[in-house]
């Protein structure tokens, strides 16, 4: 199985005619992802070509969905227009929206969250590396890659990964691949203070997925999302979890890297998060290099 996406998922790319969106559309096609449409206002009727693959470009998401049956969208739209792009996909009935864009104004995301209340659409991101469900073929190609993650380090397997940090996502993927465990699905949820899918959301999905046997959860300072996920896992989790919290050396009141990575009012410290995770029975790696081995020990695979 896997969560959210698989090799059958039909994906459209908002911003496919831009340099960044176009490049990653090509990499996703190379990975085996079904990129069925592109959307760029004013450029409808054109095509995006990569090798033997020809992708039609539409002016609107609604038209793209009607013509191609796309159920997921990757958003590579400049920050000033990204919130409108998200809501356009929501209005068109897209099931999964993955917003890669970094630097979307917080006020814009507040409007997005309010508008999406009660919507069946799931948002991943923004400011995230995206989502990968590796394929089962040679080199794990033939799966679904939405976003900017390096597909070649993934391997289909039994570990679900959820992370706020892009680079630490890749580190966890590489370690679980090298150890032979592989991944069921890897979800980069992004580090902005207002985003869509949370650690808790991902844990719940992985908990119900038959293919996922263990989970890696990577968090960082700021907010209380990791503590909330830990509290849920303590009561309902059925699978071993290994975690890492980034930002232990960050000074209070100073943002480190991600917009959401800030310790304020004594809340959101790395130590508090680690203690909450450990209290929930979650194994905590002290350094990024220990994520894979910590998982192996927690799952009894060592």
Annotated catalytic residue 258: yes
Task: Show the CA angle centred on residue 211, arms to residues 195 and 213, nearest 5°.
Answer: 85
pLDDT tens figures, 106-139: 999 999 999 999 999 999 999 999 999 999 877 7
> What's the farthest any 2 CA atoms get from each other in the chain?
56
Asked: is 10-124 a CATH 3.40.50.450 domain? The reply is: no
Q: Of 18-32, 73-87, 187-201, 250-264, give the lowest mean pLDDT range.
A: 250-264
Please report which helix (H) or strand (E) contains residue 102, including its range.
Answer: none
pLDDT at 24: 98
Q: pTM, whole model, 2 decimals?
A: 0.94
* Residues 191/165, Cβ–Cβ less than 8 Å: yes
Q: Do 155-299 and 10-124 fall under one CATH topology?
A: yes
* pLDDT band per the 50, 70, 90 thresholds, residue 265: very low
Please identify which of the residues 24, 154, 199, 258 carries the catalytic annotation. Answer: 258
Instruction: Break the chain into its structural domains and give their ranges.
Output: 10-124, 155-299
What is the arrangement of strands in the sheet containing 34-39, beginning at the earlier edge strand?
47-50, 53-58, 34-39, 10-14, 72-75, 96-99, 122-124
Architecture of domain 155-299: 3-Layer(aba) Sandwich (3.40)
């Amino acid at each position: 199985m896997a969560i959210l996406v698989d090799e059958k998922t039909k994906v459209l790319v908002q911003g496919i005619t831009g340099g960044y969106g176009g490049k990653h559309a090509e990499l996703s096609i190379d990975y085996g992802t079904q990129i069925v449409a592109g959307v760029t206002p004013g450029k409808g009727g054109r095509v995006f070509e990569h090798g033997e693959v020809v992708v039609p470009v539409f002016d609107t998401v609604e038209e793209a969905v009607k013509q191609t049956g796309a159920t997921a969208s990757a958003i590579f739209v400049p920050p000033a227009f990204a919130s409108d792009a998200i809501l356009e996909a929501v209005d068109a009935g897209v099931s999964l929206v993955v917003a890669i864009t970094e630097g979307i104004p917080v006020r814009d995301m507040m409007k997005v969250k309010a508008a999406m209340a009660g919507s069946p659409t799931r948002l991943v991101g923004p400011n995230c590396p995206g989502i990968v469900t590796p394929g089962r073929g040679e080199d794990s190609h033939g799966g679904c890659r939405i976003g900017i993650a390096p597909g070649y380090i993934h391997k289909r397997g039994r570990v679900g990964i959820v992370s706020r940090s892009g680079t630490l996502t890749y580190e966890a993927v590489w370690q679980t691949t090298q150890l032979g465990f592989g991944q069921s699905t890897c979800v980069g949820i992004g580090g902005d203070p207002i985003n869509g899918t949370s650690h808790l959301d991902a844990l719940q999905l992985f908990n119900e997925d038959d293919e996922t046997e263990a989970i890696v959860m990577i968090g960082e300072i700021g907010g209380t999302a990791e503590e909330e996920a830990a509290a849920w896992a303590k009561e309902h989790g059925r699978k071993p979890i290994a975690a890492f919290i980034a930002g232990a050396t960050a000074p209070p009141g100073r943002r480190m890297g991600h917009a959401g990575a800030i310790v304020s009012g004594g809340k959101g410290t790395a130590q508090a998060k680690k203690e909450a995770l450990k209290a929930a029975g979650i194994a905590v790696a002290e350094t990024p290099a220990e994520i894979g081995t910590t998982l192996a020990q927690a799952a009894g695979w060592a």
